[in-house]
Structure 1
């Protein structure tokens, strides 16, 4: 999916919601454990209930890898189900990969050829040659970690040298590796005012923004500081939506939670675009 197609989905749905499929076998409704593939059964119901309210889904691979081969099978079935039934949705592998070039080439092959994701999250620490292999795929995306929403972000990301913070240097260097047609950035919502500094460096790139909802980030503040003329935002919500209920009504409750977010997003799009 290219940038214009993604923006078209945002316009049509009046939404820039990304639903995080952080599907934990220990948290899903217990009655699903009687099915042959509880993880896939849960994901299928969540996607069916929210597909018209979201423009993207983001499976966090740790939740699937922790289950071994069965988890990978559930992940593959989830991606295939979305591709077949809702082909206009953007699918992100939240994998946080990044290694020497030949290894990154195999990661890229795994996520883009074998698994058919649109995008993969990548850690920038090893530099350009660890990221470039992902950028060789047409209409596929690297989502580079720039400024995360966790407490440990303070350990390194705000380090300053000559007035330039580390996350700002990451943005400046990496923006030369790709462009706004194949690279996005992970930017946490918990310090939304920093988005204005980020937009000075990458005004036209899409930003994947976690931290809204259960982590306390403000959607209104994210839009205020981070939205550009093509929206430029994918705001992720995971627990707030997918675990809105642990009962048999979990899918209906997930839809209600997603609807609440989408309604606010529609108002923000009208306000800023």
Structure 2
């Protein structure tokens, strides 16, 4: 999927919402556990209830890998379902991969060729040759960790080296990599005050923004400092939407939470 098409979907849906599909069998409605594939059935119902309100879904692969081969099969069925029934949706494999070149090539092949995700999250710590194999895939996107929403982000990402914070070095360096036009960046919503500085470095790139909702990020602040002329934001909410209810009405309650965020986004876009 091209970024132009993604931008068109944002304008058409009046939404830049990404819904995280982080499925924990201990949290989903108990009646689903009687089914053959409760993870997929939970995802399917959630997707059917919310697809018109969001432009992206982001399964965090850890929540599938934790259940072994059955979990991976649930992930495969989920992405196949989205691609077949809702092909306009931008899909993100939240896998945070990053390794030496030949290993990264295999990771990229797994997520882009086999599973057919539109994008994958990667960690940049090992540098250019660990990221460029992902960037080589046409119309696929690599979403690189830049400034994350967790408390430990301050351990390294905001430390200064030669008078500049590490996350700024990461952003600036990545712009020179081959096929860097395929890069997007993860920037946590709980770091809203940093968005203005980030936009000075990557004014045109899409930013994937976790941390709205359960982690306390503020949508208005993120948009104030992080939005560009083509919006350029994917705001992710996971737990706040998918676990709005643990009863049989879970899909409807997820829709209500997603609708609330979408309406806030529509108001921001209209203004």
Measured against the shorter chain, the TM-score band is over 0.9
CA distance in 1, matches of 2:262, 2:11: 12
- For 2:248, the equivalent position in structure 1 comes to 248
- Are 1:133 and 2:137 counterparts? no
SS state at 2:229 partner:
coil
> Is 5-14 or 179-188 further displaced after alignment?
179-188
- For 1:68, the equivalent position in structure 2 comes to 68
Q: Cα offset for 1:62?
A: 0.4
Gaps of 5+ in 2: none
Q: RMSD of aligned C-alpha atoms?
A: 0.8
> Is 107-116 or 174-183 further displaced after alignment?
174-183
Q: Cα offset for 1:163?
A: 2.3
SS state at 2:92 partner:
strand
- For 1:4, the equivalent position in structure 2 comes to 4
CA distance in 2, matches of 1:90, 1:180: 19
Cα deviation digits, residues 62-91 of structure 1 (max 9, x gap): 000000000000000000000010000000
CA distance in 2, matches of 1:21, 1:178: 31
Cα deviation digits, residues 100-127 of structure 1 (max 9, x gap): 0000000000000000000000000000
- For 2:98, the equivalent position in structure 1 comes to 98
Q: Cα offset for 1:230?
A: 0.4
- For 1:259, the equivalent position in structure 2 comes to 259
- For 1:37, the equivalent position in structure 2 comes to 37
Q: Cα offset for 1:181?
A: 3.8
State TM-score, norm by structure 1. 0.98
Q: Cα offset for 1:193?
A: 1.3
Stretches of 4+ aligned residues off by more than 3 angstroms:
178-181
Cα deviation digits, residues 162-220 of structure 1 (max 9, x gap): 32100000000011115674110000000201000000000000000000000000000
- The alpha-carbon distance between structure 1 residues 27 and 50, as it changes in their structure 2 partners (threshold 3 A), is same
